[in-house]
Structure 1
């Protein structure tokens, strides 16, 4: 086993003057994870990633990293195995503070084929984004809403290193400067034009719904979602769309990811997998049989 790195930096500062969204906007964050609690208004932690180290993605059976604009093939063929290697490089913080040492990103639905014997029917890729992709961060800010404090973490990796002290000092300086332009009132929502609602495939959509209903009656499944893509055109920025989403639909799981050429934004009331103290809790779809042993 490789020796863990010992060059990580952590500093804490009062957080009463800041909100995760305002700091993310001021620092041009690449990723935001927030949680709105139905009981408390907001849950304990929010996380933002403000400086990228590198990116890693799943492309078919290949895992590719982009480091300083260079694409490099990883020795692993499964992105989760590669992310585990990355996460193990640094020591996790004490006191249960959540730190995504393996980055922040997404696993596409197609990734399920790597976890089970299920086979998916190939469909045309009309948007051209990776099956899965993560941004590995040098600098993270973790907001503790219970203590009104911000924990600022600086991490280096075997794949990429920077002057962490300089990077952390730069963030602290930007947080304390007198530039309050990020607090400007948001403009009225930009107009939105529907480009495609896949109406041309309406008949195919109905056929798929009927097929799902038949499988439910036959006892093959309890529920399923037959989705259709809705394409809209707007001049609204992705971060502003996220702001409006979190305002209109506060949820236990809110996320914003900026990959440059595309952004991923969402809100969900449900948890699928949660890890606390190295114990994973799985909350599968309703109707999944319960087993005492696996």
Structure 2
């Protein structure tokens, strides 16, 4: 690991000032960045500790929920408002990593974690455009069972690793940012990039920009929501496919719906086509399957991950059937 200096920010302004230094990086719980430093994938010259910034979780008058960027994942998952109003988020967080990691990881850091692609981590033996732009992508012809089937490019087929972000995408979360040019917001569905020609650029954040808070808009049917993660083993494994969904019914008809997928793309994948196909349709297994097929029609599987297409369709349909059985 390369030498670095460490500073603990007193507030957001202090963090922004410190992060103007060349080679400076924000440090949350360190559950991703420190791993990358150990593997010599990243070598920041300065770490700016932002864990002392806001950890408040506040229910606001308009029904939204305000979450400080330094909130620990465990605290968010266990908060009564999250568990009662947005159970999809609580379940997504507890499906990720281990209890020890959730106790350390911050919400802002979780959002910004980098891919867990094996080839990305193999500095000595593998080519990776995300690690070294223009080098090539060994996952394309390598072992790509866990890789993307939607939104990939010839430059990168890695998937986004976060469970929490999939739920946030389904809930229309808004990310509050502070940077050199002031404050701004971004929908989480716009924050992460697809790889295209620059897989090394993960997000639309500007240099030195800091996540200060996450806002969950009020969602009247958020209580009828859930998260399902399909993985190779029951603990501490990344999703092959995951589904976050919330459903509003008007009798036996789908009035409104939110669906997002994990494990299938370079970013949390909002299933806009499936949602559009479902509104106004009967809340039946057949309708849910039809909507899933509409969403996966654009899938481009690789040699080893074609099974994900059918797995995603079945998981979407199964989760929506499960939600119809929840009494409002």
Same fold (TM over 0.5): no
Task: State TM-score, norm by structure 1.
Answer: 0.24
Task: State TM-score, norm by structure 2.
Answer: 0.22
For the pair shown, the structure with the greater C-alpha radius of gyration is 1
Larger % of strand: which? 1
Larger % of helix: which? 2
